[in-house]
Amino acid sequence: MAVIFRKVDDFFRRKALKVFLNFSMPKWVVFAIDSTAVFLVFLFAYLVRFNFASVEIDLFRAVAEGLIVTSVYMLFSLILRSYAGILRHTTLTDVTLLFVVTTSSLAVVSSLSILSRLMGWWEYLIIPVSVVLIHYVSITVILFSVRLLIKIIFRFATRSRRTKKRVLIYGAGEMGFIVKRVLLSDPLSGFEVAGFIDDNKRLQGLKINGIPVYKPAIFNNNFILKQRIDTLIIAISKITADKKSEIIRKAMDSGLEVLETPSIENWLHGRLEVEQLKKVKLEDLLGRDPIKLNMELIGLGLNNKTILVTGAAGSIGSEIVRQLARFNVKKLILVDQAETPMFHLDNELRKEYEGLEYELILGDATSPERMRLLFNEHHPQIVFHAAAYKHVPLMEDNPHEALRVNVGATRLITDLSVEFGVEKFVMISSDKSVNPANVMGASKHLCEIVVQSKAQVPGIKTQFVITRFGNVLGSNGSVIPLFEKQIREGGPVTVTHPEITRYFMTIPEACELVLEAGFMGKGNEIYVFDMGDPVPIVDLAYQMIRLTGLVPERDIEVHFTGLRPGEKLFEELLTDEENTLPTHHPKIKIAQVKKLDGPDLMSKVDAVLSNLYGLSKQEIVILIRELVPEYTCNNGKYNDAGENNAEIYYKLKEE
């Protein structure tokens, strides 16, 4: 019997679903049907009033009065658009509008009838009050019932035998109510609202449309298991980054999928759709509020200026370009040797920044001829130097290229900046330059030395600024895209060491601070960014796995592979000898660095660069130790590199 019932149920459900999928009633049809119903129900009210004795009814009068009543209803229906809602998704708002239309029509028709009787107006306006009341009750019930019936049939047709995800909505305010309504109005969404969570004590313990509102303290593993909660949706329009991070972490630790609602301005055609509920992003876990920039200071510094960006197609360089495009710059000169990324950058700028004046230049930032031609042709007034090799393991195996590109390009661009009268030079450095343990970090430290040495030369008008920060989330080749790829492939996720930590910022965060720092001082400063607390990489791996709705070590394993050559357990933003001074921006500090013997250091740097490919890898490492005493090489293959650096240096000098 149960099998027969299921087959019958499936048959009618499929038929009903076919109707809903193939037919959608236009609004004008709904309006016409509602108006026709009003007229016919009015005639029915006359019959009820005269006990269905049709012979006692003046048919012409009844029709005339019915047309008058219908006209009044149509007027209010057009004003309030009670016909505009989708019948299969009828909500409380739609029912309320319907009630307002019928009640307003009752008030107007009754008033007309009474006034006509008192003033002796047109006799057809004197409608029996009993007929009006019968009509009001009948049409309200009928229109409401039809809409409810259509919604019930639609839910029956779209009912799934699969278990729906039980959802908690964090936020019982207006946004939370909208999310609840969207989820319940779309049976295909696959969600079932189990409750709200809200910090407002006045709402806690109450019910909204029969759905309970809980206090945040109830949000624990026992409650989640008991209520069979699968998903948490954050539906708060104004929430601090710290609070949001706390909610997300708590939900993820309980194994929940976490979704969030987009800001109102991003809703599709002013309406929230289920498809717009997206999984929270990794940067939401950093728990940092948006950076507030001194837009007036930055805008003044960039106004009508020609700006050169090296490494413009890289993760940092391209974001700097996006930030610059927001201001009234004269022209952007964008340099990179990577053809395909430059092609994509060009497409993005054409699409997103119409009217922006820019020129893409394929070129090597270490080429004196190419860079001199560029400076001579465009005479940039501001330079953002982001061109660099950054991958630690690759630079360990290719120390020649680390020095040629990172140090050589910095040396060349600083020289040209001074020669061509550049007003401001901003270099992008790295936390790996502090007490470096690898070739890449040591090369960036040398870049800082090059810039500082140039800034200390008397009479130079160019303002040299260095910005130093750590890892950026999602940059090309960083740990985030690697983890995402490993998770997509089913794991394992590889972490080098269980205790390794790193500082993280989002790319826009870092680049916004670069702009702020670039126009903050007068030159010869190293700006250090507040990056919050260092993040354990293994925690990052677990969080990324949970963000995909999977469980670490059950669905995706995490494997430890051991530290790579040149890799440190933790990074630093300052050396032991450096302190910081505050600035007007709470996230930017000035590093107080030791004074350099600029000319002597630069002569050594130039000697190394000019004889670069006449040296072995070990000799390169020996010379880096000479130039950067803080460099502690932990790469086993270079451990037997001698300490007699002077012999190699003098050999270079003689050559």
> Mean of the pLDDT values across residues 332-359?
92
With beta carbons less than 8 A apart as the criterion, state whether 609 and 404 touch: yes
Q: Which two tokens stand for residue 90?
A: 């009828």
H-assigned helices in 158-173? none
Reported confidence tier of residue 162, pLDDT bands at 50, 70, 90: very low
Considering only CA atoms, which of 457, 454, 469 is closest in space to residue 413? 454
Reported confidence tier of residue 192, pLDDT bands at 50, 70, 90: confident
Taking residue 364's Cβ as centre, other Cβ atoms within 10 Å add up to 18
Main-chain phi, psi angles of 471, to 5 degrees: -70, 150
Q: Which two tokens stand for residue 34?
A: 């509602």
Predicted pLDDT of residue 512: 80
Question: For residue 430, what are the CA distances in angstroms to 212, 299, 529, 549?
Answer: 50, 26, 10, 33
Taking residue 252's Cβ as centre, other Cβ atoms within 10 Å add up to 20
H-assigned helices in 325-475? 339-352, 368-378, 392-397, 399-401, 408-419, 439-455
Predicted pLDDT of residue 271: 63
Question: For residue 122, what are the CA distances in angstroms to 67, 75, 127, 177, 185?
Answer: 14, 20, 11, 49, 47
More confidently predicted of 549 and 316: 316
The residue type of 451 is: V
Predicted pLDDT of residue 255: 76
With beta carbons less than 8 A apart as the criterion, state whether 507 and 472 touch: yes
Predicted pLDDT of residue 342: 93
Q: Which two tokens stand for residue 131?
A: 């007929």
Q: Which of 383-392, 468-477, 541-550 has the highest mean pLDDT?
A: 383-392
More confidently predicted of 262 and 301: 301
Computed on alpha carbons and rounded to an integer, the radius of gyration of the chain in Å comes to: 36
Residue 161 has pLDDT above 60, yes or no: no
Q: Which two tokens stand for residue 96?
A: 């309320």
Predicted pLDDT of residue 365: 93
Domains in the chain, ordered, with CATH?
2-157 (no CATH), 165-280 (3.40.50.720), 295-638 (3.40.50.720)
> Mean of the pLDDT values across residues 513-539?
79
Predicted TM-score (pTM) above 0.85? no
SS3 587: coil
Average pLDDT score, the chain = 79
Predicted pLDDT of residue 600: 78
Each residue's pLDDT tens digit, 89-134: 566 677 777 888 888 888 888 887 777 777 777 767 777 777 778 8
Residue 159 has pLDDT above 60, yes or no: no
* DSSP secondary structure of 528-563: EE---S-EEHHHHHHHHHHHTT--BTTTB-EEE--P
Give the distance, in angstroms, between the CA of residue 5 and the centroid of all CA atoms in the same chain. Answer: 48
Predicted pLDDT of residue 257: 80
Give the helix, strand, coil percentages of the chain, each rounded to 5. 55, 15, 35
Each residue's pLDDT tens digit, 548-571: 777 788 888 888 888 877 677 777
SS3 398: coil
Please list the residues that pair with 231 across neighbouring strands: 167, 257
H-assigned helices in 353-398? 368-378, 392-397
With beta carbons less than 8 A apart as the criterion, state whether 533 and 504 touch: no
Each residue's pLDDT tens digit, 380-407: 999 999 999 988 889 988 999 999 999 9
Predicted pLDDT of residue 90: 66
154 CB-contact burial (10 Å; exposed 0-12 / middle 13-18 / buried 19+) = buried
Predicted pLDDT of residue 638: 66
Predicted pLDDT of residue 370: 94
Name the one residue in this structure whose structure tokens are 């998770």: 487
Going by C-beta distance under 8 Å and a sequence separation of 6 or more, which residues neighbour residue 492?
486, 556, 557, 558, 559
Q: In whole angstroms, what is the distance from residue 526 CA to residue 453 CA? A: 13
| CA angle, residues 78, 84, 89, in degrees to nearest 5 | 150
Question: For residue 388, what are the CA distances in angstroms to 276, 365, 397?
Answer: 38, 9, 16
Q: In whole angstroms, what is the distance from residue 632 CA to residue 626 CA? A: 11
> Mean of the pLDDT values across residues 629-649?
63
Which of the residue ranges 121-130, 210-219, 374-383 would you say has the lowest mean pLDDT? 121-130
Residue 160 has pLDDT above 80, yes or no: no
Predicted pLDDT of residue 469: 78
The residue type of 204 is: Q
Predicted pLDDT of residue 622: 87
Considering only CA atoms, which of 309, 315, 544, 524 is closest in space to residue 413? 309
Residue 74 has pLDDT above 50, yes or no: yes
Residue 537 has pLDDT above 50, yes or no: yes
Considering only CA atoms, which of 137, 139, 127 is closest in space to residue 82? 139
Each residue's pLDDT tens digit, 281-308: 776 776 666 666 677 778 888 899 999 9
Reported confidence tier of residue 267, pLDDT bands at 50, 70, 90: low
With beta carbons less than 8 A apart as the criterion, state whether 224 and 256 touch: yes
